[in-house]
Amino acid sequence: MAVLAATMILALAGAACQADAESDDPGTTGTAPTGADGETATGPTGEVTRVEVTIDNGSVLSSLDSVPAGTVIFEVTTLHGGGDGHAFGVWRTDIPPDELPLTTLGEALDPTAEGIEVVGFLSRARGTRELEVALTPSNYVLVCSVHEGEVAPFEVT
């Protein structure tokens, strides 16, 4: 059953990478920004923290590597050329970034693995998109689950 679930996740992630960039489906989990200008003034625990994330060939770069607990808005920009796309995720885990498990096919990070909780996800992170999530104190990683090695540690205090 776990192999079937992991295979389905990989298939969905792969489809997200190949999906048409003009699609109206935002492919987002988490909480969408509110307000006419797309920004939120306060979150569940007060202040909102904005974090700029850039995904490029082989890397996830974050403007901050630690933030206070509360609402965090990730502004995700991808610089990866071509029609490949990325799947950006915020995962709660104590697993070191270089030890994150791969899917059974070994080509992508496995969001269904033991010790990983997906708290936010953009399935088609092309161009610049926002993802708003409420984060509690813990260790996290910022990942492109489609491309192995595109991961950055992230801490919430």
Task: Write out pLDDT tens, residues 9-48.
Answer: 444 444 343 333 333 344 444 444 333 333 333 444 568 9
Which pLDDT score, from 0 to 100, does residue 150 have? 84
Phi then psi for 17, rounded to 5 degrees?
-70, -30
| Domains of the chain with bracketed CATH | 2-156 (2.60.40)
Estimate the share of the chain in helix, then strand, then coil, as percent rounded to the nearest 5: 15, 40, 45
Q: How far apart are CA 155 and CA 157, in angstroms?
A: 6
User: Taking Cα atoms as reference points, which of 67, 108, 4 lies closest to residue 100?
Assistant: 108
Q: Under DSSP, is residue 8 helix (H, G, I), strand (E, B) or coil?
A: helix
Segment 69-108, tens digit of pLDDT? 999 999 998 886 555 567 889 999 999 988 998 887 766 7
> Highest-confidence range of 1-15, 57-71, 103-117, by mean pLDDT?
57-71
> Highest-confidence range of 10-19, 123-132, 138-147, by mean pLDDT?
138-147
Q: What is the mean pLDDT of residues 53-63?
A: 88
Q: How is residue 83 written in tokens?
A: 């029609």
Which pLDDT score, from 0 to 100, does residue 73 have? 97
pLDDT at 133 over 80: yes
